[in-house]
Amino acid sequence: MAAKLIKGTEIREKILEEIEAEVAEIKEKHGVVPGLVTILVGENPASISYVTLKIKTAHRVGFHEIQDTQSEDLSEEALLALIDKYNKDDAIHGILVQLPLPKQINEKKVLNAIDPDKDVDGFHPVNVGRLMIGGDEVKFPPCTPAGIQEMIVRAGVETKGAEVVVVGRSNIVGKPIANMMLQKGVGANSTVTVVHTGTKELAGHCQRADILIVAAGVPGLVKPEWIKPGACVIDVGVNRIGEKISEKTGKKIAILSGDVDFDAAKEIAGYITPVPGGVGPMTITMLMKNTLKSVKFRLGIN
Ligand code: NAD
């Protein structure tokens, strides 16, 4: 039986429509427009294309969007002063600093300078702590893990009591999604195992998973025989495995692959996310959701 596809592209549209409607209501009732600032230092092409998509999405949902582009030679002191300015600006509800930063700037110092109540990326240690505590403490779950959880819930997959196996222990995907899935509450309450490069029996752990979340960055790591029949497989991996000419634009584009052998896995799994078009589109979507949350926290309307 072929698995049901969980398409991030479709779920994104639904969530953005929901956000757009809430933004319109907040504007009407409270006269407040959500403000999101993106600080980009330098001209990294990947960062520019990601930031461009963020801006487009922010405009679509009706946010006040500020794109603050700074030169490659910006000093750390100047960037910290800029963050301080936005921390104090009441029209701004979310602050994003696009990574990577040039080498003269200490990333950790910069991320820690963002007001935790405007840290819509959810990477500030205060927000990592809030996520760990769970429940009402959580303000801004990091965007990719939040997108993964949203996909599982919207696909109607039962998480309560489910065996969840997470492949990868990064601070941006593996650790936070594992933490989120073990909390009490809707879309979680699972029994969670995290596997990584130090794990002895990778296959054996994966074979137990009702929900298998793979974020390793290794194309084809998860073999079809590692998948339990009927399992929900969330493939977070985005790996460039070659180049091709786009039929639409005639330009060279990357050929992307996930961490799971998709063609074989879809014949065994119950649910599966494609790459591209799976988890990828969810990250910016959840960033918009976190910015909306920030406004609601400020207005006390949660
Ligand atoms: P990372 O390199 O920081 O972490 C990868 C983790 O996988 C590590 O903890 C490592 O221990 C584990 N791992 C690597 N090889 C392994 C192996 N052979 N066996 C077992 N474990 C192994 O990567 P990351 O930032 O967490 O990203 C993981 C993947 O997800 C990448 O392909 C990245 O591009 C993708 N990603 C996608 C999105 C998105 O779609 N929005 C967001 C973030 C990351």
User: Distance between CA 226 and CA 235 in Å, rounded?
Assistant: 14
User: Distance between CA 205 and CA 193 in Å, rounded?
Assistant: 8
Residue 136 a catalytic site member: no
Contact 118, 93 (CB under 8 A): yes
Q: Is the pLDDT of residue 265 over 80?
A: yes
pLDDT in tens, 45-55: 889 989 999 99
Mean pLDDT over each residue of the chain, to the nearest integer: 97
DSSP-assigned beta bridge partners for residue 68:
39
Average pLDDT over residues 133-155: 97
Atom 8, ligand 1: which residue's CA is nearest? 168
Average pLDDT over residues 245-272: 94
Atom 3, ligand 1: which residue's CA is nearest? 170
Residue 98 a catalytic site member: yes
Residue 54 a catalytic site member: yes
Cα 226 to ligand 1 centre (Å)? 18
Please tell me if the CB atom of residue 169 comes closer than 6 angstroms to any atom of ligand 1. yes
User: Distance between CA 34 and CA 30 in Å, rounded?
Assistant: 11
Q: What pLDDT, on a 0 to 100 scale, did the predictor assign at position 84?
A: 98
pLDDT in tens, 17-72: 999 999 999 999 999 999 999 999 999 988 998 999 999 999 999 999 999 999 99
Q: Which of 121, 210, 235, 259 is an active site residue?
A: 121
Q: Is the pLDDT of residue 302 over 80?
A: no
What distance lies between CA 157 and its chain's CA centroid? Answer: 19
Please tell me if the CB atom of residue 78 comes closer than 6 angstroms to any atom of ligand 1. no
Q: pLDDT band for 151, please (50, 70, 90 cuts).
A: very high
Cα 202 to ligand 1 centre (Å)? 15
Please tell me if the CB atom of residue 202 comes closer than 6 angstroms to any atom of ligand 1. yes
Q: pLDDT band for 1, please (50, 70, 90 cuts).
A: low
Measured from the Cβ of residue 157, the count of other Cβ atoms closer than 10 Å reads: 19
What distance lies between CA 182 and its chain's CA centroid? Answer: 18
299, 176, 160, 296: which is closest to 236 by C-alpha? 176
Return the best residue to mutate from 121, 144, 196 for the ligand 1 pocket (most ligand atoms within 8 A of CB).
Answer: 196
Q: pLDDT band for 287, please (50, 70, 90 cuts).
A: very high
Please tell me if the CB atom of residue 216 comes closer than 6 angstroms to any atom of ligand 1. yes
User: Distance between CA 61 and CA 84 in Å, rounded?
Assistant: 26
Atom 5, ligand 1: which residue's CA is nearest? 216
Query: Which atom from ligand 1 is nearest to the alpha carbon of 259?
Result: 32
High-pLDDT (> 90) share of the chain, %? 96
